[in-house]
Every structure is written in structure tokens, then in C-alpha cells.
């Protein structure tokens, strides 16, 4: 997708696509996109939120989806620069997807292997991340989401990991629930508490973090040293992982623990907000 295709948002919404944008007490999952400018409903991510005790709502800057599960709330055609969209939310999930536009991190040029770039999606996610981090809202950033989080905080990306022949093949065409390489976690870190000292994860990315933005701390690495997990040292619960835990929740207790920890953080956030409201 080029940077203009998705700006054409004229479309009749599905009957069941909610037009309200007040996700009170819900976890926002950012909608993915199609090349024709329509929303892809991020079902595995929303399912994982629901399976671990959260109430998901999908917010998208793209046109309404061509189809969506009957029991999903999807709000489409949203302004990518509207920072008010997270009002009432208790958490934010930035899912996987295409590459982050290298213009965001001032790369000299776009790598020829770059794919599925949407500057509009990037703008939307940067807007939501800025609002979430300012509010200390719990954030779970997955694959592309971890990369977007890093770029938002001033970091940069390796545009194509396979340029280094010493690295593992991280861009594997395997089922999402197949675990293919090891991950080592930092001792006494949140991921070590949730996953143990090591885990085996799936892998579907060709880019990775290079310069790590502040205040992110490196807390997990693949067997070849590629960074696989980060967390913010300035927020209650902001975590990025490079693999796809949403596809492993049903088969891996550690990945379920990760989502449950996120949902627990959203409940704590809601408690803090309620306490502040009562004392105001």
C-alpha cells in the first residue's frame, strides 16, 4: 500500500460496526488494514484479550471491514490524529502487520525488501501511543507494534534482518502457533517472571530493533541475539515483544501469562482512575 491509498475512506459502514468511540473500560486493539483501504479485524489479538479476562474493542483509521465477527465491536474511519480516542480505555494493544515507514526514524532510504507500509496506520498508532504513554495506560505492543513503540520513543529499526547471514531466519512461513526458536529472558525481568528464563516462540518478522529508544529496557533476545522483548522503565506496564503471543495463548502457559499480566495491569489502571475520580 502506498501512503495515499488508505486516505480514501468513503464507505458505508456495516450495520454492526459501532460508530461511537467511547471504549469505557475496554482494551483498544488497533485495526489492521487491507490494500483497498478497508480494515482487517485483528481477531487473534482481540480473542486473546477476551480469553484472559479483558473486553476488547477494535479502533481503526481505515474503512469498515468487509466482514467481521458478529460479537466484535469495530469502530472504523477514525481520524489518525485524534488523540481523544483512548478516553475511557484501560489498555492498548498494537498488533503485528506491515513495516513501519522508515521516514519515521529518518532512515537514509527505504530497503528494497520493505513491504506493506501504510503511513496512515503509522500516524494512527503514533497518536494512540503518545496518548497512552502520557496517561500511563498499559500497552502491549506485538511484532510491528514493538517496532512502532520503539520508533515512537526515538529508536530505529534494522530494515531487513536477513542482510546479516549470521542471523536466524526470523521471517518463517509457518503456522502462527508453531514455535520455532528460543528466547532468553533477562534475569528478574517481567518476562522472566512470566515465561521463565527461556521460552520457545513463533517468528514472523523480517525487521527488528536497532537503536533502542528511551525509556525502553532490553529484556529478551533470540538465540542469535536479535532483540525480542522490551519494557518501559518509566511506566507501570508497557511491554513489547517481537513474536506473536496472541497465537500461542491456547497452547503455551507463558504466553497466556503475558496476556493475563497485561489484563491485570488494565484492571489496576482502572482502579487508579476510579480512586482519582473519588478523591477529586
pLDDT digits (tens, 9 = 90+) for 44-93: 999 999 999 999 999 999 999 887 778 888 999 999 999 999 999 999 99
pLDDT value for 180: 85
β-bridge mates for residue 176, sequence order? none
HEC-encoded secondary structure of 115-156: CCCCHHHHHHHHHHHHHHHHHCCCEEEECHHHHHHHHHCCCC
pLDDT value for 23: 66
Fold that domain 5-279 belongs to in CATH: Rossmann fold (3.40.50)
Residue 191 has pLDDT above 70, yes or no: yes
Contact 62, 56 (CB under 8 A): no
Strand (E) or helix (H) holding 265: helix 253-279
Q: Residue written as cell 487473534? A: 44
Task: Using DSSP, state whether 159 is helix, strand or coil.
Answer: coil
Strand (E) or helix (H) holding 191: helix 190-195
pLDDT value for 174: 82
Give dist(CA 32, CA 56) in Å, integer.
Answer: 15
Q: What is the mean pLDDT of residues 210-237?
A: 97
Listed residue (149, 129, 147) closest to 89, CA to CA: 129
> pTM, whole model, 2 decimals?
0.91
Give dist(CA 170, CA 182) in Å, integer.
Answer: 11
Q: Which three cell numbers stand for residue 83?
A: 488523540
pLDDT in tens, 111-133: 989 889 999 999 999 999 999 99
Residue 167 has pLDDT above 90, yes or no: no
Q: What is the mean pLDDT of residues 154-171?
A: 89
Which of 73, 125, 143, 152 is catalytic? The answer is 143
Listed residue (80, 227, 215, 240) closest to 153, CA to CA: 215
Residue 2 has pLDDT above 50, yes or no: no
Q: Residue written as cell 495463548? A: 249
Task: Using DSSP, state whether 53 is helix, strand or coil.
Answer: coil
Average pLDDT, the chain: 89
Spell 78-103 as b/e; 16+ CB within 10 A means b. bebeeeebbeebbbbbbbbbbbbbbe
Domain boundaries, the chain: 5-279
Listed residue (155, 91, 101) closest to 124, CA to CA: 101
Which of 73, 125, 228, 246 is catalytic? The answer is 246
**Catalytic residue flag (residue 143):** yes
Amino acid at each position: 500500500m502506498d501512503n495515499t491509498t488508505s486516505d480514501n475512506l468513503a464507505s458505508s459502514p456495516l450495520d454492526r460496526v459501532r460508530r461511537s468511540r467511547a471504549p469505557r473500560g475496554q482494551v483498544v486493539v488497533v485495526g489492521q488494514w487491507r490494500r483497498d483501504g478497508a480494515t482487517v479485524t485483528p481477531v487473534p489479538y482481540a480473542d486473546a484479550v477476551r480469553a484472559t479476562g479483558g473486553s476488547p474493542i477494535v479502533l481503526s483509521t481505515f474503512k469498515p471491514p468487509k466482514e467481521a465477527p458478529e460479537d466484535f465491536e469495530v469502530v472504523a474511519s477514525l481520524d489518525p490524529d485524534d488523540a481523544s480516542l483512548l478516553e475511557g480505555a484501560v489498555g492498548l494493544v498494537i498488533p503485528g502487520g506491515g513495516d513501519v515507514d522508515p521516514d519515521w526514524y529518518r532512515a537514509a532510504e527505504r530497503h528494497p525488501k520493505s513491504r506493506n507500509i501504510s503511513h496512515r496506520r503509522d500516524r494512527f498508532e503514533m497518536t494512540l501511543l503518545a496518548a497512552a504513554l502520557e496517561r500511563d495506560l498499559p500497552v502491549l505492543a506485538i511484532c510491528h507494534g514493538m517496532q512502532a513503540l520503539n520508533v515512537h520513543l526515538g529508536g530505529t529499526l534494522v530494515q531487513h534482518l536477513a542482510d546479516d547471514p549470521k542471523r536466524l531466519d526470523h521471517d518463517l512461513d509457518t503456522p502462527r502457533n508453531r514455535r520455532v526458536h528460543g528466547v532468553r529472558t533477562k534475569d528478574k525481568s517481567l518476562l522472566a517472571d512470566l515465561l521463565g528464563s527461556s521460552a520457545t516462540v513463533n517468528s514472523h518478522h523480517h525487521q527488528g530493533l536497532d537503536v533502542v529508544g528511551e525509556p525502553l529496557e532490553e529484556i529478551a533476545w533470540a538465540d542469535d541475539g536479535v532483540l525480542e522483548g522490551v519494557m518501559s522503565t518509566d511506566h507501570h506496564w508497557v511491554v513489547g515483544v517481537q513474536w506473536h503471543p496472541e497465537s500461542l495463548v491456547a497452547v503455551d502457559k507463558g504466553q497466556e501469562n503475558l496476556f493475563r499480566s497485561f489484563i491485570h495491569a488494565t484492571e489496576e489502571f482502572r482502579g487508579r482512575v476510579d480512586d482519582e475520580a473519588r478523591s477529586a
